[in-house]
Chains A and B, each alone.
Chain A
Amino acid sequence: MPEPIDLEYDVAADDYQTAGEASSNLKETLKILGISSSVCRRAAVITYEAEMNLVIHGGGGRIIANIDEDKVEIMTVDRGPGIPNVELAIMEGYTTASDHAREMGFGAGMGLPNIKRNADIFEIETEVGVGTTLRAVIKL
């Protein structure tokens, strides 16, 4: 890969119709770059779960992806309510999703665990009332 690639996407709150477009676009970009289908899927799951978190919990936000020859790095930034207990939030099955999100098939309490499982590096910085920044890295 000659030059690192930076991608940024704005994600709207509570918009379940367009949610997933950013993740889909990122996955297509990775495929075009010739990145292995396994890494494409892992990056897509990370981005999609993080994107849905922005839609459902974060009040919208931004996805920032950096791709270079060593890694795919995905960050999400929101100014939402923050996560009061991160340890609890990354436990499988724990959820605070709304009824509407559940009706759409989300809120299984697997979002953050899925991100963590697919990432080589997984970090969350969060402050209640300020927002959340998530960083996930896949090493190539």
Chain B
Amino acid sequence: MTIAATPTQVPVSVDNDKCIAEKGCTVCVDVCPLDVLAIDMLTKKAFMKFDECWYCLPCETDCPTGAVSVSIPYLLR
């Protein structure tokens, strides 16, 4: 294996107390143009899986419980 695992701080964060993914909600995952959000199989909460964000905001705007917040990626900020 010659592949590195390099950590990076992602721009989308999810408030697990507000996220209702365990009830079957996948709104943020569905609306992301770049398909970078996913539901964590262990915690049953949404999270940003890939650092490929256009900071476009549908995930935050369309979340029914206000659990998602988007900040500008650090490299641009």
A pairs with B: no
